[in-house]
Amino acid sequence: MIATGVVVEYNPFHNGHLYHIKQSKKHTDADVMIAVMSGHFLQRGEPAFIDKWTRTKIALANGADLVIELPYSYATAQASDFAKGGVLLLEALQCDFLSFGSEQGEITPFLDTYKLLEDHNHELQQNVKQLVQSGLSYPQALNTAYQRLIPNNQLTYADLTKPNNILGYHYVEAVQKYHTNVKPITIQRVQAGYHDAIQNGTTIASATGIRQAIQEHHSLQNVSSFLPKATFHALTEWYDEHHHFASWELFWPFLRFSILRLSPKEIASYAEVTEGIEFLIIQAAKECPDFNGFMQKVKSKRYTWTRIQRMLTHIFTNFTWQQLKSSDLPNYIRLLGMTQNGQQYLSERKKLFTLPVISRAASSNDPMLLQDIHATDLYMLALGKNKIGMDYKIPPIRI
Amino acid sequence: MIATGVVVEYNPFHNGHLYHIKQSKKHTDADVMIAVMSGHFLQRGEPAFIDKWTRTKIALANGADLVIELPYSYATAQASDFAKGGVLLLEALQCDFLSFGSEQGEITPFLDTYKLLEDHNHELQQNVKQLVQSGLSYPQALNTAYQRLIPNNQLTYADLTKPNNILGYHYVEAVQKYHTNVKPITIQRVQAGYHDAIQNGTTIASATGIRQAIQEHHSLQNVSSFLPKATFHALTEWYDEHHHFASWELFWPFLRFSILRLSPKEIASYAEVTEGIEFLIIQAAKECPDFNGFMQKVKSKRYTWTRIQRMLTHIFTNFTWQQLKSSDLPNYIRLLGMTQNGQQYLSERKKLFTLPVISRAASSNDPMLLQDIHATDLYMLALGKNKIGMDYKIPPIRI
């Protein structure tokens, strides 16, 4: 069986994701599609729009055969660690291919870019350091330093100003750095940019645009054309039950209370909180009754919106620098769901996997798994649900 | 000017408090009545029913001339430290008398009891230790050990099974232990026991009974006969504005979130949390969507309801063992409000005070004051109010 993996958030799963999964399957002639998916907190430092089990069901209904949880410490990390977690899990799962979406659409520029940056790594790091000191954000500095390295008119290098290309670059980097057997391929993204708003008359929109449209109109009607049926039905059911979707706006009373309960020294102990920003975070939380106002006060040239949201995620879930530093390689494969085809793959290949498969949360005390379980509890509480220990109660979804 | 002090919570101020203030004034021929009052968290480990400024206004309208805040570390402590804070502040304020209400009604038994217990302190401590080890709660053990010391048929010793007598005993203890010039006197409490429910046809009920009646009936009508007009009007206004009164039931979502966000090790670092009860607290918080259910699971023979609530108060406000241990003597007199008469007393006596008077919170960085300000912020947030830094904004109330 040929196995092809994707590393995803599916927040929520839309027609672009469906296109990517279909194309990936076709290009790699895959017998089984494996999705390594983030849990309740995402790479942009946000709570997931809907819970991970609902997102698993939708993914299984749309072409994924196995859904594996990307542990919190990778799922909420900067791109390089996010990619590292995803790639190492796909490697442990004996995947043949890793397929990612990119603006670039071809794999060669990524491989060339990786070689260029590896060969000039020292020079690059020096330049990045200097540019950060001169006031650029880290992503801005990295991109500027990178541009300086590219030989004139060499268009075959990847355009690392594009969000999906950046992530793609880090997949390629992780594949090479950890000497995996997974072969990276890329599928060109169609139509919508990563952050673009939805456009009528089209069928593909970004997840960000879809979420925004739902939140603005308090309705799913405007977005139905961008979603597979399974997503539309699951979102409709969710909204009927919960009357809102998860967001920092919704979670703000709990996040704000948590921030204001803590001392500046404690805030500084959370992962990604650096350079005295704890004082600004506390001051802004004092002043702002809404999340957006808070973010406007805290963001700056130095810190991207995403970086600040990641700090907030770690404050919210009580995840410290110490915990981040003690996270290194994944130790297990957490199964969230499977199709019959996925189950057959597991039966055939499980003995070759280099990490144990965890189907029951209670069977492990791995700190990474405990952090995911903890994050689920806080996510549910902030959602206003009296649902604690769901990770122990919900077995892998089967369809 | 003769100054008489009382140490109070006024949660809320009722006819029994009015009676006590009037009798105290009369018995001591006082020119000025000084109330040292708890802030937003109380000795039984609960949030105050209404905020401290509203309680200050009511007290000033009913015979108190000065209202001084009893800092958090005393206000939420066991009886001996509660009394210590109150007595030392009254001493610093040059009070001539401290008047407390008691079931006993005469001061001599308290003085005799103090002498008895001082003289047999070693024996008492040994017995208490043994009784606690045999499974009694600390208050039960203390009382049993004390009973064993009393010579047969000596009825002039204070009955330390009564809650107000216990507190009274600790006032007398603090007065003696710190060699203060404050003279303790006591006024017999009338009609209602400390925890009794309200009874129709009477005018005095316990604060506990009054709060329960209000919460049960979602109305103030049943309790109007037990309250001075100023209290009734203030409670009516409060209810119209907030639609609820502060309580752990109301604060439970925030308290529960705070508990479940923390690790067992962190929970154990909070003041008064001992002997592994952190695991029980976390387990009960996981299981219980309401505060009462939570308390039923956590309380035991070993830990009184009050003791557990004090742990919860410290978890809620982020007050650790370390902070508790570094709290010793009060360093300032925080003025919450005054009448013209109170102001005159301040003008005349301020230079004799042994501690500085703080009228503006911003003028001090004393850790005890900062903890009160912090507790106010969290109280307001849990109440659903966007009111942060009220301690900096509200000047002393003047009537």
Q: Using CB atoms within 10 A of its CB, is residue B98 exposed (0-12), middle (13-18) or buried (19+)? A: buried
Largest CA distance in chain B: 59
Side-chain half-sphere CA neighbours of B128 within 13 A: 14
What do you get for the CA distance between the two ends of chain A, in Å? 20
- Which of A282, A298, A325 is a domain's end point? A325
**ipTM of this complex prediction, to 2 decimal places:** 0.91
Whole-structure pTM value: 0.92
Q: How far is B233 from chain A (nearest CA, A)?
A: 29
Q: pLDDT tens for residues B291-313?
A: 999 999 999 878 889 999 999 99
Instruction: Report the alpha-carbon distance of residue B130 to residue B138 in Å, rounded.
Output: 11
Residue B233 burial by Cβ neighbours in a 10 Å radius (0-12, 13-18, 19+): middle
Alpha carbon B294 to its chain's center: 23
Cis check: omega of the bond before A12, within 30 degrees of 0: yes
Smallest Cα–Cα separation from A380: which of B261, B347, B41, B201?
Answer: B261
Whether residue B286 and residue A381 make contact (CB cut-off 8 A), yes or no, is no
Q: What pLDDT digit, counting tens, does each position of B164-201 carry?
A: 999 999 999 999 999 999 999 999 988 666 566 667 77
The 8-class DSSP code of residue A363 comes to G
B334 and B261 belong to one structural domain: no
Report CA dihedral (A325, A329, A335, A341) to the nearest 10 degrees: 150
Query: Structure tokens of B32?
Result: 């000025």
| Residue closest to A206 by CA, chosen among A195, A222, A219 | A195
Question: Would an 8 Å CB–CB cutoff place A355 in contact with chain B?
Answer: no
Contact between B260 and A287 using a beta-carbon 8 Å cutoff:
no
Q: What angle do CA A158, A163, A169 make, to 5 degrees?
A: 45
Q: Does B322 touch chain A (CB under 8 A)?
A: no
Q: Which of A253, A262, A316 comes nearest B318 by C-beta? A: A262
| CATH number of the domain enclosing A225 | 3.40.50.620
B130-140 tens-digit pLDDT:
998 898 887 78
Using omega within 30 degrees of 0 as the cis cutoff, is the peptide bond preceding B12 cis?
yes
Q: DSSP characters for B36-102? A: EEE-SB-TTS-B-SS-HHHHHHHHHHTT-SEEEEEPHHHHTS-HHHHHHHHHHHHHHTT-SEEEEEE
| Residue in chain A lying closest to B381 (CA) | A257
Give, for A246, the enclosing helix (H) or strand (E).
Answer: none
**Statement to judge: residues A198 and A332 lie in one domain:** yes
Do the domain assignments include residue A258? yes
Mean pLDDT lowest among A353-367, B113-127, B385-399: B113-127
Beta carbons of A254 and B256 less than 8 Å apart:
no
- CA distance to partner chain B, nearest, from residue A383 (Å): 11
B167 belongs to a structural domain: no
Q: Give phi and psi for B98, each to the nearest 5.
A: -120, 120
Instruction: Sort out which chain B residues have CB atoms less than 8 A from A257's CB and list them.
Output: 254, 257-258, 378, 381-382
Q: Do B286 and A257 touch (CB under 8 A)?
A: no
- State the burial class of residue A37 (Cβ atoms within 10 Å of its Cβ: 0-12, 13-18, 19+): buried
Specify whether B65 is located in the same domain as B47.
Answer: yes
CATH code of the domain covering residue B359: 3.40.50
Question: For strand B66-70 and strand B333-338, is the pairing parallel, antiparallel, or unpaired?
Answer: antiparallel
Closest CA to B332 of B362, B351, B353: B353
Q: What is the pLDDT along chain A (399 residues), one digit of tens a residue?
A: 999 999 999 999 999 999 999 999 999 999 999 999 999 999 999 999 999 999 999 999 999 999 999 999 999 999 999 999 999 999 999 999 999 999 989 999 999 999 988 899 899 899 999 998 898 887 788 888 888 888 776 668 888 888 899 999 999 999 999 999 999 999 998 866 656 666 777 889 999 999 999 999 889 988 999 999 999 999 999 999 999 999 999 999 999 999 999 999 999 999 999 989 999 999 999 999 999 999 999 998 788 899 999 999 999 999 999 999 998 999 999 999 999 999 999 999 999 999 999 999 999 999 999 999 999 999 999 999 889 999 999 999 999
Judged by a CB distance cut-off of 8 A, whether residue B253 touches chain A is yes
Contacts with A382 from chain B: Cβ below 8 Å: 257
Q: Which of A257, A262, A322 should we substitute to test contact with B (largest number of B Cβ atoms within 10 Å)?
A: A257
Structural domain contains residue A226: yes
pLDDT at A375: 98
At A212, list the tokens: 């925004």
Domain annotation covers residue B128:
no
Return the closest-CA partner of residue B74 out of B356, B301, B278, B375. B375
Q: Chain B contacts of A266, Cβ < 8 Å? A: 318
Residue A132 lies in a domain: no
Residues A320, A265 share a domain: yes
Q: Which of B299, B325, B351 is the last residue of a domain?
A: B325
Same domain, B44 and B11: yes
Nearest by CB to A377, from B260, B378, B384: name it. B260
Claim to verify: residue B252 and residue B394 sit in the same structural domain: no
Same domain, yes or no: B264 and B372:
no
The domain in which residue A213 lies consists of 3-106+186-245+327-398
Give me the amino acid identity at A238: W
Contacts of B140 (CB under 8 A, 6+ apart): B131
Last residue of some domain: B283, B308, B325? B325
Q: Which chain B residue has the Cα nearest residue A282?
A: B388
Do A71 and A330 touch, CB atoms closer than 8 A?
Answer: yes
- A contacts of B388 (beta carbons < 8 Å): 260, 286-287
CA distance B285 to chain A (A): 9
Which residues on chain B are in Cβ contact (under 8 Å) with A254? Answer: 253-254, 257
Beta bridge partners of B99: B185
B381/A257 touch (CB, cutoff 8 Å), yes or no: yes
Give the pLDDT score at B191.
Answer: 66
Other Cβ atoms closer than 10 A to B157 = 21
Residue A144 placed within a domain: no
Q: And the tokens for B185?
A: 């006197």
Residue of chain A nearest B258, judged by CA positions? A258
Q: Does A388 touch chain B (CB under 8 A)?
A: yes
Q: Does B134 touch chain A (CB under 8 A)?
A: no
Do residues B39 and B52 touch, judged by C-beta distance below 8 A? yes
SS3 state at B334: strand
Rounded Cα gap, residues A165 and A189, in angstroms? 10
Q: Is the pLDDT of residue B147 over 90?
A: no
Tokens standing for residue B144: 């049993």
Hey, how many other C-beta atoms are within 10 angstroms of the C-beta on A267?
Answer: 21
Evaluate whether B336 touches B89 at the Cβ level (below 8 Å). Answer: no
A47 and A61 housed in the same domain: yes
Instruction: Look at A262 and B386 and tell me if their CB atoms are within 8 Å.
Output: no
Please determine, for residue B154, whether its predicted confidence score (pLDDT) is greater than 70. Answer: no
pLDDT value of residue B17:
96
Tokens describing residue A302:
């130095």
Amino acid letter at A297? K
Query: What is the residue-averaged pLDDT of chain B?
Result: 93
Backbone angles phi, psi at A323, to 5 degrees: -65, -40
For position B353, what pLDDT does the model report?
A: 97
Residue A392, chain B, CB below 8 Å: the answer is no
C-alpha distances in angstroms, B354 versus A141, B84, B89, B90? 59, 16, 9, 10
Judge if A13 and A100 occupy the same domain. yes
Grouping H, G, I as helix, E, B as strand and the rest as coil, residue A235 is: helix
For the segment B13-32, what is each residue's pLDDT rounded down to a tens digit? 999 999 999 999 999 999 99
**Residue B196: predicted pLDDT:** 66
**Residue A255 shares a structural domain with residue A314:** yes
Confidence of residue B71 (pLDDT cuts 50, 70, 90): very high
Q: Tell me which residue in B289, B318, B384 faces A386 most closely, judged by beta carbons.
A: B289
Whether A301 and A332 share a structural domain: no
pLDDT for B195: 64
* Residue B257 falls inside a structural domain: yes
| Residue carrying structure tokens 């009927």 | A240
| B314 & B237 share domain | no
Considering its fold, how many domains does chain B have in total? 2
A353 in a structural domain: yes
| Cis peptide preceding A71, ω within 30 of 0 | no
Task: Say if the Cβ atoms of A386 and B261 lie within 8 Å.
Answer: no
